[in-house]
A and B are shown apart, each in its own frame.
Chain A
């Protein structure tokens, strides 16, 4: 059984740039959720994708957007990067929208 994988592991960008983060869900899982974790804080929900549609969104601006593909993998896109976007971005997959969420290793984003 393959776990959740994310790429890249680390990324450095400058303010105003755009970034795309990728996530492959665990084998058999059809739902992907994205979280942002600032240093010393718990993860905060960004949005969830189920059957290629956004199925819920947290308190994040529209410059945070996403996609889910037919193979259930997902992308998180962030436009017009700000310094406060520096964080660990976590992807979690689950079987159905109510299933236990299993997390990937995360992508560490630094915005300078």
Chain B
């Protein structure tokens, strides 16, 4: 079967750094994506990794290790507005853009 595992909740302090992990088990692999969703809002795309290594976009970075079927999202200089749910997602079929989402990690930020 296809599965993605990520922690259900993470808590961190404003200004700190937090890492949200994602491990996957899928029949194929065509990239790892991350999405952010604020309460009551739509998921929005954050990043995409197709190759091993670190991709940086401002305060957010995403890492992938295909040999370990593992990736993470790193959020630096946390701000209260980063309080949201974060979903990893894997493309497992190159015939289409269908992706599988993890169940999401709720990030709580303390002042």
A and B: bona fide binding partners: no
The residues of A with any CB-CB pair to B shorter than 8 Å are: none
Binding site for A on B (CB under 8 A): none
